[in-house]
Chains A and B, each alone.
Chain A
Amino acid sequence: MRVLVAMSGGVDSSVAAALLVEQGHEVMGATLKLWGGTSDSGCCSVADVEDARRVAQQLDIPHHVFDMTEAFTRSVVDPYVEAHAAARTPNPCIECNRHIKFDRLLERSRRLGFDALATGHHAQVVAARGVRQLRRGADPEKDQSYVLSMLGQRQLRRIVLPIGTMTKDAVRAHAARLGLRTARKPDSQDVCFIRRAEGRQGFLASRLAMHAGSVVEAGTGDVVGRVDALELLTVGQRRGLGHDADGNRRYVIGVDVAKRMVTVGSLREALVDHVALVPTSVTWVDRPLASGAAAIAQTSAHGRPVPCTIELDGTTPLLRFPSRQRPVAPGQTVALYDSADPDVVVGAGIAA
Chain B
Amino acid sequence: MSLSHWPGTLRSAERRDEVAYFDHAATSPLRPEVAEAMAPFAGERFGNPSGVHRRAREARRALEDAREQVGELLGCHPAEVVFTSGGTESDNLAVLGSLAARTGTDGPMAIVCSAVEHAAVLRTCEAAASAVARWMGIGAVELRIAPVKANGAVDLGALEQLLGPEVGLVSIMLANNEVGTIQPLGEIAALVRRLAPSAALHTDAVQAATFLDLAAAASDADLVSISAHKLGGPQGVGVLVVREGTPLRPIHHGGGQERERRAGTHNVAGAVGIASALAVAARVRSQEVPRVRALRDRLADGLLAAVPKCVASVPRDEALPGHCHLRFEGVEQEELLVLLDEAGICAAGGAACASGAIEPSHVLLAMGVSPDDARSSVRFSLGYTTTDQDVDRALEVVPAAVARLRDEG
Contacts and interface: CB of A to CB of B under 8 A. Distances in A.
Interface centre among A46, A53, A110 (most CB of B within 10 A): A46
A65 B10 CA distance: 16
Interface residues of A, number: 21
Interface string A44-60: 00100100010000001
Report the interface size class on chain B. Answer: 20 to 34
Contact of A110 (B332, B338, B408): B408
A112 B334 CA distance: 10
Nearest to B332: A108
B355 A108 contact: no
Contact of B14 (A2, A62, A108, A110): A62
A112 B335 contact: yes
A70 to B, nearest CB: 8
A2 B10 contact: yes
B339 interface: yes
B3 interface: yes
B341 to A, nearest CB: 7
Contacts of B405: 111
Contacts of B11: 26
A109 B265 CA distance: 49
Contacts of B3: 113
B358 A67 contact: yes
9 contacts: A26-B10, A46-B355, A60-B14, A62-B10, A62-B13, A62-B342, A66-B357, A111-B335, A112-B339
Contacts, number: 55
B14 A112 contact: no
Interface centre among A28, A66, A108, A113 (most CB of B within 10 A): A113
A108 B408 CA distance: 10
Given A111-B409, A112-B335, A112-B339, 19 more contacts: A26-B9, A46-B354, A53-B356, A60-B14, A61-B14, A62-B13, A62-B342, A65-B357, A65-B358, A66-B334, A67-B353, A67-B357, A67-B358, A67-B359, A111-B335, A111-B404, A112-B338, A113-B3, A113-B6
A27 B13 CA distance: 11
A195 interface: no
Contact of A67 (B334, B339, B404): B334
Given A67-B334, A111-B405, A28 B10 contact: yes
A33 B14 contact: no
Contacts of B408: 110-111
B261 to A, nearest CB: 33
A111 B3 CA distance: 11
A61 to B, nearest CB: 7
Interface in A13-65: 26-28, 31, 33, 46, 49, 53, 60-62, 64-65
A123 B52 CA distance: 69
B10 A64 contact: no
A110 B339 CA distance: 12
B334 A33 contact: no
Contacts of B10: 2, 26-28, 61-62
Given A108-B335, A111-B335, A65 B14 contact: no
Contacts of B13: 28, 62
Interface of B: 3, 6, 9-11, 13-14, 332, 334-335, 337-339, 341-342, 353-359, 404-405, 408-409
A58 to B, nearest CB: 12
A111 B14 CA distance: 21
Interface centre among A66, A67, A108 (most CB of B within 10 A): A67
Given A66-B334, A108-B335, A33 B9 contact: no
A68 to B, nearest CB: 9
Contacts of A27: 10
Contact of B356 (A2, A26, A49, A62): A49
Contacts of A111: 335, 404-405, 408-409
Contacts of B335: 108, 111-112
Contacts of B357: 33, 65-67
Interface string A129-149: 000000000000000000000
Interface in A57-84: 60-62, 64-67
Contacts of A112: 335, 338-339
A62 B341 contact: yes
Interface in A96-118: 108, 110-113
Contact of B355 (A2, A28, A33, A60): A33
Contacts of B339: 112-113
A60 B337 CA distance: 19
Contacts of A46: 354-355
A33 B338 contact: no
A53 B355 CA distance: 10
Interface centre among B3, B10, B334, B341 (most CB of A within 10 A): B10
A38 to B, nearest CB: 11
Interface string A301-318: 000000000000000000
Contacts of A62: 10, 13-14, 341-342
Contacts of A2: 10
B341 A33 contact: no
Contacts of B409: 111
A39 B261 CA distance: 38
B355 A49 contact: yes
Nearest to B12: A26
Contacts of A31: 355-356
A24 to B, nearest CB: 10
A59 to B, nearest CB: 10
Nearest to B9: A26
A278 B286 CA distance: 71
A66 B338 CA distance: 10
A66 B337 CA distance: 11
Nearest to A69: B357
B123 to A, nearest CB: 16
A31 B354 CA distance: 13
Interface centre among B354, B356, B359 (most CB of A within 10 A): B356
Contacts of A28: 10, 13, 338
B334 to A, nearest CB: 5
Contacts of A110: 408
A180 B342 CA distance: 25
Contacts of A108: 332, 335
A55 to B, nearest CB: 14
B78 to A, nearest CB: 41
B227 to A, nearest CB: 24
A33 B356 CA distance: 9
A62 B359 CA distance: 20
A27 B338 CA distance: 13
A23 to B, nearest CB: 14
A112 B343 CA distance: 12
A34 to B, nearest CB: 10
